[in-house]
Amino acid sequence: MTGGRRDRLAGFAFVGPFLALYAFLLIYPLFMGIGLSFHRADLFGARRFVGFENYARAFADPIAWQALWNTFKLTVLIVLPLTAITLALALALNRATRGAAIFRGIFFASSVLSVTIVTLIWRFILTPDAGLVAKIVTTLGGTPPPFLSDPNLTIPALAITTIWWSVGFPMMLFLAGLQQIPADMYEAAALDNAGPWTRLFKITLPSLRRTLILVIMLQTAAQLQLFGQAQLLTAGGPSGASRPVVLLIFEVAFGRWELGYAAALAELLFLLVLSVTFIQYWAVGRAAKEER
Amino acid sequence: MNPRARLSPAALVAVTIGAAIMLAPLLWTILLSLKANSELMRDTASAFSGPYTLENYRAILVGSSVTHWLLNSLIVSLGTTAGVLILCSLAGYGFARLDFPFRRSLFVFVLLGLAIPEQAVILPRHQLFAWLHLHNSYPGLILPGLVAPFGVFFMTQYFRAIPVELDEAAMLDGASRFTLFWKVLLPLTRPAQATLGVFTFLGSWNDYWWPLISATRSARFTLTVGLASAQMNYAQTSGLGFLMAQAVFASLPILIVYIIFQKQIVAAMAGAAVR
């Protein structure tokens, strides 16, 4: 490539606008947030440096632990069924038929809706007086379960709503993974008279390992940050029984305006998400190496 | 597995039940939106039978805030999409083709952004925008969406895949760097622009948390925030049918985008997979 001073200037002119915004709107706030977490900063009153006080408070706060436990339950209740369902869907719909294409379109459609619309729809599926489930259960002679107010049912209700909303993306990832398995592997298996289950466990699933790790890790990182569904559908209630960490951060920051404490909670969650992301990079990289 | 083979009957039944679970909530919403509010107030089961009416949709079009929120969403999403395409194409070309100091380290620096989730920066960003008086404004809603490290990565990869001989030929003809970028290479990246564009539009259209805290006045609500407020303030008096008609109305633009750009969306998903 022809170098020179003009090229260098041109280089900065092309990448400069993005880098400026990137530094100002992502990197600077990232460090601002770390700084904020070491301060007592309320809506009114001066900022005061307090060292690790906000972090100590977080570790001693039963509400924060409750939110973390809720987040953990939500993540498990969403990621495991979602992975199994979308893997099964991808296996069933990895076909070049018109019917399979229509089914794929149906299963992906919910993913393009916003969280507000999804919760609006599911509120009137689950609500015990007017919801669709209630109408069906009552017709069958039962009593509709109070999905949105029973502390044992709110987290499953959020999980079901989220799974319904999220099947499209992991299904597409699995389909993309299936497309990459060489056809001759199956031809060789056919010559060996391998049955469908043998082919599934000896060829398909081992070849999908990288995608499987990717789906589980991406979904885990996403669900650790679940927010809108809980805020809109259950408001984290009853008495915090379905309040995930991000909703707690939101309430502490924009309800109580304790920005320093909210920032400390956000940094702790960030560490958790970051470790999941790094495990993902490491595990996917390792799986890719072993495939070669 | 033979990709042309038919599904086994058991699998077909399972997939059909799954599809019904995916579609039933949508159909139920549409049915509710077509009923008179007074009838639904007595019993929502009335949605299973007529008479149906378009009254709720008429109420949206005349004198509700929903059309205004739709316009805000369009401005914000189109602004974000245009901005992301411009910034990421420029940066992608720069990183792929130009030689300048710290190029590699700067590229790695951008990739690190992929690991920073929104919740880690949203509180300080909210403060920052308050100092700059950017809340309740279109720039305030658009600017955070312009920071798209994935878009830069995606465009860089795409520019790298274009043969360098093209550049050299154009340079011999005396084209400047910018002419080369604008006239020769950019048109070749159209498929990538479509993919990144649709992806960005979807993300921006459905964004919830940032507009929720940045646009606090109804005049600047996007559809997601507007519908959230309608949902929160919902009382039997405001009308269930009207509420559900808003949900259907708000989903229409994005479902239309989805149907038209299905191919690009799938490509974008596959692109995220190789990341």
Predicted pLDDT at B267: 65
Contact A32, B124 (CB under 8 A): yes
Predicted pLDDT at B235: 59
Span B162-191, average pLDDT: 86
Residues of chain B by 3-state class (helix, strand, coil), percent to 5: 80, 0, 20
Predicted pLDDT at B56: 87
Residue in the structure block whose two tokens are 């606008």: A17
pLDDT tens-digit series, residues A36-63: 999 998 876 678 899 999 999 999 999 9
Contact A276, A217 (CB under 8 A): yes
Distance from the A152 Cα atom to the nearest Cα atom in chain B, whole angstroms:
23
Say if A56 falls within a structural domain. no
Contacts B171 to A, Cβ<8 Å: 2
pLDDT tens-digit series, residues B3-34: 556 778 888 999 999 999 999 999 999 999 99
> What is the CATH classification number for the domain harbouring A175?
1.10.3720.10
Say if A174 falls within a structural domain. yes
Contacts A135 to B, Cβ<8 Å: 44-45
The answer for A 100-119 residues in CB contact with B (under 8 A) is 100, 103, 105-110, 112-117, 119
Q: What b/e readout covers B216-245, taking b as 16+ CB neighbours within 10 angstroms?
A: eeeebbbbbbbbbebbeebeeeebbbbbbb
Please answer yes or no on whether B228 and A246 come within 8 Å at the CB atom.
no
Cα distance between residue A107 and residue B20, in whole Å: 10
**Average pLDDT of chain B?**
87
Among the partner-chain residues A1, A121, A266, the one whose CB lies closest to the CB of B119 is: A266
Contacts B110 to A, Cβ<8 Å: 18-19, 22
**Which CATH superfamily hosts domain B64-233?**
MetI-like (1.10.3720.10)
Please answer yes or no on whether A253 and B250 come within 8 Å at the CB atom.
no
Please answer yes or no on whether A89 and B15 come within 8 Å at the CB atom.
yes
Least trusted range by pLDDT, from A82-96, A180-194, B102-116, B155-169:
A180-194
Predicted pLDDT at B46: 79
Predicted pLDDT at B4: 54
Side-chain-side CA neighbours of residue A254 (13 Å): 16
* Range(s) of the domain holding residue A252: 61-291
Nearest-by-CA chain A residue for B266:
A172
Contacts B144 to A, Cβ<8 Å: 25
Residue to mutate among B119, B210, B240, B254, with most A CBs inside 10 A, is: B119
Percent of chain A with pLDDT over 90: 55
Q: CA-CA distances (angstroms) from residue B84 to A113, B79, B203?
A: 21, 9, 12
The answer for A 134-193 residues in CB contact with B (under 8 A) is 135, 164, 167, 169, 172-173, 176-177, 186
Among the partner-chain residues B88, B127, B227, the one whose CB lies closest to the CB of A120 is: B227
Predicted pLDDT at B38: 80
Least trusted range by pLDDT, from A226-230, A241-245, B237-241:
B237-241
Span A60-85, average pLDDT: 96
- pLDDT of A219 strictly over 90: yes
- pLDDT of A253 strictly over 90: yes
- pLDDT of B271 strictly over 80: no
Q: Between the ranges B39-48, B140-149, B174-183, B245-254, where is the mean pLDDT highest?
A: B140-149
- pLDDT of A1 strictly over 50: no
Residue to mutate among A18, A89, A187, with most B CBs inside 10 A, is: A18
Determine how β-strand A48-49 pairs with β-strand A39-40: antiparallel
**Average pLDDT of chain A?**
90
Cα distance between residue B61 and residue B248, in whole Å: 13
Say if A158 falls within a structural domain. yes
CB-defined contacts A:B, below 8 A: 259
Say if A6 falls within a structural domain. no
Say if A39 falls within a structural domain. no
Q: Report the domain count for chain A.
A: 1
Among the partner-chain residues B113, B181, B265, the one whose CB lies closest to the CB of A26 is: B113
Please answer yes or no on whether A266 and B120 come within 8 Å at the CB atom.
yes
Please answer yes or no on whether A164 and B164 come within 8 Å at the CB atom.
no
* CA A158 to centroid of chain Cα atoms: 13
Span A192-197, average pLDDT: 80
Distance from the B128 Cα atom to the nearest Cα atom in chain A, whole angstroms:
8
Nearest-by-CA chain A residue for B87:
A18
Please answer yes or no on whether A172 and B269 come within 8 Å at the CB atom.
yes
Residue in the structure block whose two tokens are 């599809």: B19
Cα distance between residue A9 and residue B262, in whole Å: 40
Q: CA-CA distances (angstroms) from residue A62 to A59, A67, A240, B208?
A: 8, 9, 11, 28
- pLDDT of A173 strictly over 60: yes
Span A156-175, average pLDDT: 94
The answer for A 205-264 residues in CB contact with B (under 8 A) is 211, 214, 221, 225, 227-228, 232, 246, 249-250, 253-254, 259, 262-263
pLDDT tens-digit series, residues B41-91: 777 777 787 788 888 898 888 877 889 999 999 999 999 999 999 999 999
- pLDDT of A199 strictly over 90: no
Contacts B126 to A, Cβ<8 Å: 253
Predicted pLDDT at B238: 64
Q: What confidence tier does B275 reach under pLDDT thresholds 50, 70, 90?
A: very low
**Helix, strand, or coil here: A32?**
helix
Least trusted range by pLDDT, from A77-86, A243-252, B129-138, B239-248:
B239-248
Count of CB atoms within 10 A of residue A155's CB? 19
Among the partner-chain residues A17, A96, A262, the one whose CB lies closest to the CB of B123 is: A262
Side-chain-side CA neighbours of residue B144 (13 Å): 28
Among the partner-chain residues A25, A124, A274, the one whose CB lies closest to the CB of B115 is: A274
pLDDT tens-digit series, residues B81-97: 999 999 999 999 999 98
Predicted pLDDT at B131: 92
**Helix, strand, or coil here: A157?**
helix
Contact B228, B65 (CB under 8 A): no
Query: A61: Cβ–Cβ under 8 A, 6 or more apart, which residues?
Result: none
Span A63-81, average pLDDT: 96
Whether A95 and chain B come into contact, CB under 8 Å, resolves to yes
pLDDT tens-digit series, residues A2-33: 456 677 788 889 999 999 999 999 999 999 99
| Single-letter amino acid code for the residue at B177 | R
- pLDDT of A289 strictly over 60: yes
Nearest Cα to A214, choosing from A35, A81, A87?
A: A87
Distance from the B138 Cα atom to the nearest Cα atom in chain A, whole angstroms:
16
0.90 surpassed by complex ipTM: no
Please answer yes or no on whether A113 and B254 come within 8 Å at the CB atom.
yes
Cα torsion through A256, A260, A266, A269, rounded to 10:
-110
Residue in the structure block whose two tokens are 């999804």: A118
Residue to mutate among A8, A32, A104, A116, with most B CBs inside 10 A, is: A116
Helix A168-179 and helix A209-223, axial crossing angle in degrees, nearest 10:
160
Predicted pLDDT at B262: 79
